[in-house]
C-alpha cells in the first residue's frame, strides 16, 4: 500500500479531502476510483528568456534562477593535485624505485613481477616506460611486469625527456597528501606529497560555477549544460553542480537562453529570475519571474465523484 503521504498528494490532485478518510485503505480505494475517471486538462509550462548583448560576462558575475545562483568564471576554481618527477638525464639503475600513493614501481633490466618497470636504453625511455606502467598503457611483460594494473588514484600525464607529471584522477584537496617518494640518485619529485607546496595543490570544486569561454555564445552554451547537468561537468561547469530542480534550459542561440519550468503545478511566481549581477549590464531576463505558465488541471465528473448505494454516497 502506498504511504499516507503519497495518498494525500494523490487525493489532493483528484479533489478529495484526505482528512475525512482516517483509514488509509478506504482513502486509497477512493483515490483509485477517481483517478480512473479523471480527465486531465493540459497546462503550459512557464518560461523566461535570458538575453545577452554578445559581450561576455566578467569573472564573478552571476545569474540566479529560483534559489540557485550560477557564477561565471574565467577558470573553474577546482584543480587536480599534481607533481612532477624530474630526471637529471642519467638513466636509473637496477632496483631504483618510485612510489606514488602506496604503489611502488621498481626499475628492472627484465620486468618479472607486477609494477616492475623496464629500464630503457636511456633516461627518457625509462620515464616513458614508467608512464606506461602507471597508466597500464604499454605491453605487459615487456614495458612492465605482468599483473600491473592502472594506478587507482593518479594518472601519468605530460611527459618529456627529463620530466614526468603525475596528476590525481579527481579534483580537490583529497589528493594533496598522497605520498610521492623515489629511491634513485637520478630522480626527484617536486615535493614529498602530490599536492605539496612545491607541487600543484588540488582545490575543491565550487558547485554552480560556469566557465565564461571565448565568447558570449560559449557562456550561454555552458550555462545551459550547467542548468541541465549534461556533458561538461568539471570542464565547462564545476564538479558537484546538479540539474536545476525547477527548470530546464531549452532553446539556445548565440544571444538567448530559454528556461522552462519542469512542473505544471507551479505558478509563474514560484520561480524567480533575478537580473544578472554583472559589471557591464550585458545580460537581462525578460521579467522577474517565469511567464505564460498555466497549471495542468485534473477534473473529475460530478457523477464519478461518489459511488451511490440507495440514497447514500459511499
Q: Mean pLDDT over residues 132-153, rounded?
A: 97
- The pLDDT tens digits for 59-72 are 999 999 999 999 99
3-state secondary structure the chain: CCCHHHHHHHHHHCCCCHHHCCCHHHHHHHHHHHHHCEEEECCECCEEEEEECCCCCCCCCEEEECCEEEEEECCCCCECCEEEEEECCCCCCCCCEEEECCEEEEEECCCCCCCEEECCCCHHHHHHHHHHHHHCCCCECCCECCCCCCCCCEEEEEECCCEEEEEECCCCHHHCCCEEEECCCCEEECCCECCCCCCECCECCCCCEEECCCCHHHHHHHHHHHHHCCCCECCCECCCCCCCCCEEEEEECCCEEEEEECCCCCCHHHCEEEEEECCCCCEEECCCECECCECCEEEECHHHCCCEECCEEC
pLDDT of residue 31: 85
Confidence tier at 309 by pLDDT (50, 70, 90): very low
- The pLDDT tens digits for 236-275 are 999 999 999 999 999 999 999 999 999 876 667 778 888 8
Against a cut of 0.75, is the pTM above it?
A: no
- The pLDDT tens digits for 185-234 are 999 999 999 999 999 999 999 999 999 988 899 999 999 999 999 999 99
CB 37 within 8 A of CB 304: yes
The percentage of residues in the chain with a pLDDT greater than 90, rounded to a whole number, is 67
What is the rounded CA–CA span in Å between residue 181 and residue 187?
10
The residue ranking higher by pLDDT, 129 or 302, is 129
pLDDT of residue 313: 39
Cα torsion through 136, 139, 142, 144, rounded to 10: 0
Checking if the pLDDT of 305 tops 70, the result is no
Checking if the pLDDT of 33 tops 50, the result is yes
pLDDT of residue 88: 97
pLDDT of residue 208: 98
Q: What are 237's three cell numbers?
A: 561547469
Amino acid at each position: 500500500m502506498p504511504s499516507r503521504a503519497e495518498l494525500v498528494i494523490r487525493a489532493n490532485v483528484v479533489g478529495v479531502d484526505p482528512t475525512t478518510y482516517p483509514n488509509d485503505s478506504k482513502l486509497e480505494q477512493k483515490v483509485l476510483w477517481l483517478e480512473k475517471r479523471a480527465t486531465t486538462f493540459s497546462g503550459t509550462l512557464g518560461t523566461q528568456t535570458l538575453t545577452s548583448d554578445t559581450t561576455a560576462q566578467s569573472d564573478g558575475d552571476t545569474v540566479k534562477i529560483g534559489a540557485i545562483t550560477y557564477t561565471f568564471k574565467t577558470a573553474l576554481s577546482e584543480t587536480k593535485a599534481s607533481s612532477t618527477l624530474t630526471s637529471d638525464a642519467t638513466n636509473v639503475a637496477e632496483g631504483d624505485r618510485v612510489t606514488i600513493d602506496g604503489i611502488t614501481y621498481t626499475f628492472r633490466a627484465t620486468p618479472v613481477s607486477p609494477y616492475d618497470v623496464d629500464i630503457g636504453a636511456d633516461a627518457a625511455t625509462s620515464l616513458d616506460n614508467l608512464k606506461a606502467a602507471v597508466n597500464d598503457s604499454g605491453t605487459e611483460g615487456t614495458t612492465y611486469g605482468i599483473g600491473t594494473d592502472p594506478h587507482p588514484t593518479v594518472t601519468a600525464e605530460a611527459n618529456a625527456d627529463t620530466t614526468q607529471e603525475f596528476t590525481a584522477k579527481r579534483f580537490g584537496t583529497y589528493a594533496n597528501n598522497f605520498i610521492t617518494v623515489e629511491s634513485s640518485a637520478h630522480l626527484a619529485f617536486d615535493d614529498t606529497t602530490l599536492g605539496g607546496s612545491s607541487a600543484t595543490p588540488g582545490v575543491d570544486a565550487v558547485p554552480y560555477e560556469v566557465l565564461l569561454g571565448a565568447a558570449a555564445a560559449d557562456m550561454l552554451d555552458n550555462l545551459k549544460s550547467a542548468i541541465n547537468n549534461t556533458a561538461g561537468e568539471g570542464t565547462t561547469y564545476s564538479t558537484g553542480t546538479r540539474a536545476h530542480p525547477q527548470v530546464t534550459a531549452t532553446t539556445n542561440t548565440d544571444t538567448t537562453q530559454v528556461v522552462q519550468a519542469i512542473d505544471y503545478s507551479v505558478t509563474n511566481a514560484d520561480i524567480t529570475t533575478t537580473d544578472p549581477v554583472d559589471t557591464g549590464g550585458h545580460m537581462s531576463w525578460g521579467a522577474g519571474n517565469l511567464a505564460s505558465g498555466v497549471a495542468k488541471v485534473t477534473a473529475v465528473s460530478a457523477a464519478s465523484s461518489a459511488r451511490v448505494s440507495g440514497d447514500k454516497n459511499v
